[in-house]
Amino acid sequence: MGRIVDISVKASRPRWLLAVIAGVVAALLPSGGAWAHEVGGVGATNFATTLSALSPAVPGVSLAVVENGSRLELRNTTAREVVVRGYSDEPYARIGPDGVWLNDSSPATYLNADRFASTTVPADADPAAPPRWRKISGETVHRWHDHRIHWMLTTLPTAVAAAPTAPHRISDWHVDLDYDGTVLSATGSLDWVPGPSPTPWYLLTAVSALLVVGAVFTRRAHALVAAALGALIAADVLHAAGIALVTTGNVPERLSAFLGDGLTGLLIWPFGLVAAVLIARKATFLGFVAMGVGGLLSSMMALDDAPVWWRSSAPSALPADLNRAGVALVVGLGAGLLVAGPLLWRRFKPASRHTASAVASTDAPADSAPAEHAEGVEADPATRSVASAKPDGKAGHDEAPPVVLGARATRAAAAAAPGDAARTGDAAGTGDDAGTGQAEVATVGRRGFAGTLAAGGVGAILGAAGGIVAGTPGEPAAPQAGPPAEPLSGVGATRIAFHGERQAGITTPARPQARLRIVAFDLAAGVDRAGLQGLLRRWTQAAAQLSQGLPLGDTGDDVVTGAGPSSLTVTVGFGPSLFGKAGLPAAARPGELTPLPAFPGEQLDAAHSDGDLCLLVHADDALVAFRAARALTRLAAPQARVRWQLDGFNNSPGVTPTAATGRNLMGQLDGTNNPQPTDEDFTAKVYVTDPAAPGWLRGGSVLVVRRIRMLLDDWEAQPREAQERVVGRRKDTGAPLSGGAERTPANFGTTTADGALAIPADAHIRLATPAFNNGAAMLRRGYSYSDGDAAGLIFLAWQADPRRGFIPVQQRLAGTDALNRFIRHETSALFAMPHGVTPGGHLGQDLFGDDPA
């Protein structure tokens, strides 16, 4: 009797197989998205962060750039604390023998929580306030997303977008640390390093896939497919190990990085390895498992890691080209197995039990023909071994019996040879089928299969843990001390966040910056919605870079080489005349943007008034403000051209106390009676909160710009007392003439000894006070200007609605204000400033609705 070989999964009943595949897919897919190969929120990238120096060097204090530029890591094993300074030079974190502490008064505590500073900063986080320390760890190491060292935006720098194949220096950065009275300055750079050509890795991927598919049609198909599955898992394990080795943290954290969130690797790798072993033993149906494992690994790797082929760096401890080759092999082998699984089944589809029994029956002639095969299906090697059995009942030695999975298959084999049933339970290797013709069946029971999987999983965990622990780097070596970089002063280093609920430059920073440049634009003829939206995108991206002290990568950056952002803010607005242009219907203009009426006595220069768009650029340094305004003006072409522009100035930081009210060129304190952020109705006065307002304007503000020329010769000819009566306040203290200090509310009923009003009836503050204007109020942030013989005030008034703010007040002032004899209104403009922007969006995006232009 010939050898009887059976397969546990029959062609007529594939449900068990489909259930297995469905179970694997169901287990793996939910975790697949979490298996993205990133570290610290960054994957493959062309941005490179380098640390040049920590000067002076202190033994036991080390700083390192970790996680592919995503974070800084500070270790302090000394007996003293190191304090890390935040973005406004305030204490942010302290690291020492008693652990890690964060200052809850520092905005950096919240901004550093994630890669893109998307955490909302609480209103009570004031860098000038006393520190509120909170312990977060007992370790002597702290890692944080320091946004000075990496690229913050989701869009490319302007220079990089223009020439992505060329290297670019994005910025030079520095972070200050305080150690026992000594300032330690860490310096480094952020660069754009173009990646390699992906062509070689595309070719390796394609060749790998073709080799796996071709292997199905060879004599050693099972062995080669099994080898491909094993190589796929080995390459994926190596790739995951490279990720784990650059992941900072303890062993569980690194092990999690190795196995993936949800222990995805533990589910895939042991299952695939067992399948590879069984495929090598001719378990044809497990080719479908190879197909599933290969497809999952290939798709996840392609989605998550294919960018390593064309980017210059990736979060991996492996050499760059080895990492790229590993990704190519996983994608290629997995894609090949996805095709090879069905082909393997088609070629080696097993015969049914009845066919195998008929061929093996002792009643059949010894030289009878082999059983009929299904049309187009090649016989399984097991069937061929039966058909080609030698007359003496011995099978050829080159035909090894395939694996039979499960006890049901064993019973099926016994049913095919009833006389041999007794031998089925014999110990392996105790009998010889040569003389008896007994069936030789290689079986793996369900318990054995489950046990193998469990053993494989335990082995994977133990091996991974051992490898990762062995590969855990110790304390990073202290950086080589280089020439110390001159640190920026607090003024130059101050950054104002660009992204947020509201645009900066309105109420932030609280103290107006020292310099202003305001530029009004007209749209060029023929500009459509797409052109306008493209301009706003360019302005948004450039403003975000400039406000953080990042260069744009053009020759104009030389103007501010060595300077910091200096509290730079950029605020963008839309004029009434914009509506009716660029595809924006005139009817879409909000009521808050109703053009200002004419006022008595004004002498407006039409060429230097109004405008479709405006840019307000504020900074504490004249060069920084000039450079930013010029760069943004150049970016406006060809969609817009300059209509008019003004330059303004205030006291430089440090000249007066931070909280002091600024003075105008008449010598008067200007802005004393401004709404204060602590006022209950401050937001309603300054920002648009009306639910009927369009979405792009809600959360924004409306700006009135007036260039007011001061007739200083006439003013300075007046005695001091006369000047004070014109305004209604003392020049030295700003106190109202009714008595008290600067912030004392004016008492308009107070009289002098001779019975006259202490604050005259035509005094400026009497006519402008909200009490006499139905509560109308504005936030005034004025700047002085000087232009040849002309000088005066650039009046900036922010409000929710000029119809309830500037207009009624100015109508009252224009009639009887004593100050009118010494001033002349020469420029007037009105702009609606949209709400702020989140990373990835652009200013005014809501203005276009769902239009994808």
Residue 458 and residue 742: Cα distance in Å, rounded? 76
Question: Which residue, among 644, 818, 640, 643, has the nearest Cα to 718 in the 3D structure?
Answer: 818
Q: Which of 579, 583, 638 is CA-nearest to residue 612?
A: 579
The span from the CA of 707 to the CA of 710, in Å, is 10
Residues assigned a catalytic role: 670
Tokens found for residue 165: 């194949």
Retrieve residue 83's tokens: 């304090």
Closest CA to 689 of 678, 677, 676, 702: 702
Main-chain dihedrals φ then ψ at residue 534, nearest 5 degrees: -65, -40
Please report the sign of the dihedral spanned by the C-alpha atoms of residue 301, residue 303, residue 305, residue 310: positive
Q: What residues contact 398, with CB distance under 8 A and at least 6 apart?
A: none
Query: In the structure encoding, which two tokens stand for residue 636, read together?
Result: 């406006």
| Closest by Cα among 62, 67, 66 to 82 | 62
Q: Is 383 helix (H, G, I), strand (E, B) or coil?
A: helix
CA distance 249 to 121: 26
Query: Residues near 475 by Cβ (< 8 Å), separated by ≥ 6?
Result: 62, 75, 77
Beta-carbon contacts of 37 under 8 Å, excluding residues fewer than 6 positions away, are: 43, 239, 240, 243, 304, 305, 314, 315, 316
Rounded to the nearest 5 degrees, what angle is found at the Cα of 131, between the Cα atoms of 126 and 133? Answer: 125
Distance, C-alpha 798 to centroid of its chain: 32
Residue with tokens 């008064």: 105
Q: Tell me how many degrees the CA angle 257-259-265 measures, rounded to the nearest 5.
A: 150
Q: Assign 636 to helix, strand or coil.
A: helix
Q: E strands of 449-584, at which residues?
A: 515-523, 569-574
C-beta separation of 783 from 797 below 8 A: no
Would you say 141 and 74 are in contact if contact means Cβ atoms under 8 Å apart? yes
In 368-520, alpha helices (H): 381-387, 407-416, 421-424, 433-436, 446-471, 490-493
- Residue 494 burial by Cβ neighbours in a 10 Å radius (0-12, 13-18, 19+): buried
User: Would residue 567 be called left, alpha or beta, if left means φ above 0 and alpha means ψ between -120 and 50 degrees?
Assistant: left
835 CB-side CA count, 13 A: 18
Distance CA 371, CA 296 (A): 38
Burial of 173 (0-12, 13-18, 19+ CB in 10 A): buried
Query: Which residue's structure tokens are 């990089």?
Result: 160
Give the residue carrying structure tokens 């069946």.
441
Per-residue HEC secondary structure of 236-260 comes to HHHHHHHHHHCCCCCHHHHHHHHHC
For 102, other C-beta atoms within 10 Å of its C-beta total 25
Distance CA 699, CA 683 (A): 9
- Contact between 233 and 205 (Cβ < 8 Å): no
Residues 6+ apart with CB under 8 A from 289: 20, 21, 24, 271, 272, 275, 341
